[in-house]
Amino acid sequence: MTNFPSNHTELIKRVNSVVNDNPMSLTEIEIPNRNVSLFKVDIPASNSACARIGLFTGVHGDEPAAIASILAFLEQRKWTEFPNFEFVIYPCINPTGFDLGIRENIDSQDINRSFTGKGTPESLTVRKSVGKQKFDLWIDAHEDPEETGYYMYPLFSDESWGTQIVKQVSTVGPINSKPVIDDRDVKDGLVSLPSRQELSAFMKTTDQWPLALYAYSALGQNGMTTETPGQIDFDTRVQMQLSAQIHSMRLLQHSIL
């Protein structure tokens, strides 16, 4: 993507200009102890709503293609393919980290280990803003700066979705062929996850929840964490993110319409 915004102010300016030209709204939410805010875009369904999609991006400040894909989703009006869906979009959950180009927030905290317990200013603000909303599909977009191939954590109700999404993404860029990433078994770009029961038990043993565990436990048991490979060119990574997002939405659309 050409002209990727170099800072949070620039990013929100771009988001705002899409919001001004389309039937959607932008909400600014103060983050305690920060001089930058959390921003949220709400896109209502243009027909009668039958599903709600949550897009969560930029928890890590050094994963630019994830943020760029949400900007592309907005600027290229990708939501118009889904007139029955309403979207709740957080384009940048870690504005201080984004401005500094670092994974953590300005206090060196990994927000993606703070989605339960006392949390961080950013995770608490997201949780408060989401409230009791439920989502039919949530997407937690990330990048892995060290990798050369795409992989993902599939938390879908229908286990075939992960395979279908990876297949689609493989038409855009390389899929990770490693058998193990971050101590987890991986097959054809899909991280093997514990069963739902084991996952629930595991969640009770740790207070360092990533956003995905919070989403899975509070927002709905149908979602994914995408990881595009930081070692390949930027535009391909953005297209891979978009491909995963849009294909998951198409699968949801097929399953309910």
113 lines the binding site for Zn ion (CB under 5 A):
no
Q: Which residue has tokens 């319409």?
A: 257
142 lines the binding site for Zn ion (CB under 5 A):
yes
Which residue's CB is nearer to Zn ion, number 64 or number 173? 64
Backbone phi, then psi, for 182, in 5-degree steps? Answer: 50, 45
Instruction: Return the range that interacts with Zn ion (CB under 5 A); candidates 42-50, 53-61, 131-139, 207-215.
Output: 53-61
Instruction: Return the range that interacts with Zn ion (CB under 5 A); candidates 17-25, 138-146, 232-240, 249-257.
Output: 138-146
What is the smallest separation between the CB atom of 59 and Zn ion, expressed in angstroms? 6
Residues 6+ apart with CB under 8 A from 75: 14, 18
- Asked if 168 and 197 count as a contact pair (C-beta separation under 8 A), the reply is no
The interface with Zn ion within residues 73-102 (CB under 5 A) comprises: none
Nearest to 69 by CA among 247, 192, 254: 247
Nearest to 39 by CA among 104, 110, 102, 98: 98
Instruction: Return the range that interacts with Zn ion (CB under 5 A); candidates 137-145, 163-171, 205-213, 248-256.
Output: 137-145
What is the smallest separation between the CB atom of 153 and Zn ion, expressed in angstroms? 11
60 lines the binding site for Zn ion (CB under 5 A):
yes
Which residue's CB is nearer to Zn ion, number 43 or number 215? 215
CA-to-CA distance for 92 and 80, rounded, in angstroms? 22
237 lines the binding site for Zn ion (CB under 5 A):
no
